[in-house]
Amino acid sequence: MPAGVDRVAVVTGGSGGIGRAVCERLAQDGTAVVVAYSGSADRAEDLVGRLTAAGARALAARADVAEPDQVAGVLDAAERAFGGVDVVVHTAGVMRLAPLVELDLEELDALHRTNVRGTFVVSQLAARRVRPGGAIVNFSSSVVRLSLPTYSAYAASKGAVDAITRILALELRGRDVTVNAVAPGPTATPLFLDGKPEEVIERMAEQSPLERLGRPEDVAEVVSFLAGPARWVNGQVLYVNGGLA
């Protein structure tokens, strides 16, 4: 079932970075969009204003992705406003970088809470709500395969996302709902850029055969494919990194 005016998407982490680009692309596809955010209400409402001004249907809703009641509230809002949920895109995540021997375990717990528990909660509730012909799209990372120093905790959390995604796809047999994950490489977002020296960013950009960082729009294009026309792609982790890995 292709994306279109009758489809409704919930995008977690939708107020910034890749999530914002995903919301914009799905709106361009004709999909009603719920911008789910946890931090900045101003950014979320600004995005909703821009989308609606362009003729799209959109609303903002707040949720901590690790809290089932709050995630259920976002899905409820989507159903009340637009009649149902066809697509759930889970972009929300956090990154903590440090050598394994130095990482504070409280930082590890915080990472696990958002990236693993959050993915589990969103996937669980999405699986209960998404209508036939719909799609669940989680977010992994290319660092699962790259095995970069200081990324052990983050890569481990995204490895868990891969497992959740593949198994849920099998468990939804007979539902006509696809479950996939997108694994971006280095992408020019605050999550990637913040705290990195310019020389590190330039070196990582040069590693791709395309010799640049990814753009949020590059990733959103793949999400659009998985959210709409890609009905025969299921249980997969798609690496979106310009050929880096």
Catalytic positions are 154
| Cα dihedral 235→240→242→245 (10° resolution) | -60
- With H, G, I as helix, E, B as strand and everything else as coil, classify residue 34: strand
Task: Write the DSSP assignment of 143-169 as a string of letters.
Answer: HHHH--TT-HHHHHHHHHHHHHHHHHH
Question: How far is the first Cα of the chain from the last one, in angstroms, to the nearest whole number?
Answer: 31
User: What span, in angstroms and rounded, lies between the C-alpha atoms of 99 and 152?
Assistant: 7
User: What span, in angstroms and rounded, lies between the C-alpha atoms of 134 and 22?
Assistant: 16
Helix (H) and strand (E) counts in the chain: 10, 7
